[in-house]
Every structure is written in C-alpha cells, then in structure tokens.
Amino acid sequence: MIPVAEQSTHQVQELLVRLERNNKIIQRLSKKLASYICEPNNPSCFDKMYEIKHGFRIFAKHQAHIIELLKTKKDEAPELDRKIELHLERFKQLEKDIAGYLLETQKHY
C-alpha cells in the first residue's frame, strides 16, 4: 500500500469509494442479520450475534473516523496508513464472522 501522504487525489478518492463500498456491504449484512431468518437458535448463536453487532458498531466508528481524516488530510502520517490497513482487515474479519454465523443458523433449519 502506498503511504497516504504520497497518494494523489485520485488515489484517495478511490480509497474513499472502496471504504464506502465496504460500509454498504456491512450495512446490508447488518439488515440480513436482523431478519427473522437469521435469528439465533442456541446460546452460542446469541453470543456470536452479540459479538458481530459489537463489531458493526466498532466498524462504523472507525469508518467515520478514517473518512474524516482522509477528507481533511489532518493526519498524513504512517499512522493513517496503519489505521486504514486495520480497518480493511476488520472488514474482512466481519465478513468471515457473519458467514460463519449464517452457516450455523441455517444448518438448524
């Protein structure tokens, strides 16, 4: 990944689009998780659902923070690069967690 300080405006815009796309995916998954089809059916599912919803809140908080930093370019240090990398990793982990939860809830039907 190219450091944010060295990226052109076009590259920053692409990064913003990627972050926004990830955010929309997480929002759709959150709606799916709230549907009656994905209701927890055992104690471990309730725990997993709680963890995922907590992950959604953390993801949303970090998403807003990173987008604000990118738009204002207040923090052009390597710290911002690390924050972005962690955020993208958090997105991948949330996707894996949701997929596992959905598989677990669907196998009981």
- Other Cβ atoms less than 10 A from the Cβ of 49: the count is 19
Q: What is the pTM of this model?
A: 0.76
pLDDT at 61: 93
The answer to whether the CB of 66 falls within 8 A of the CB of 19 is: yes
Residue-wise pLDDT for 11-32, tens only, equals: 777 888 888 899 899 889 888 8
26/20 Cα distance (integer angstroms): 10
* 2 pLDDT above the threshold of 80: no
The answer to whether the CB of 88 falls within 8 A of the CB of 23 is: no
- In sequence order, which residues have a C-beta less than 8 Å from that of residue 59 and are 6 or more positions away? 23, 26, 87, 90, 91, 94
Residue-wise pLDDT for 49-106, tens only, equals: 999 999 999 999 999 988 888 777 765 657 788 888 899 999 999 999 998 888 888 7
- Residue pointed to by tokens 């059916």: 41
pLDDT at 104: 84
pLDDT at 83: 86
Q: How far is CA 97 from CA 27, 29, 44, 45, in A?
A: 14, 11, 13, 11
Residue-wise pLDDT for 27-61, tens only, equals: 898 888 887 777 888 888 889 999 999 999 999 99
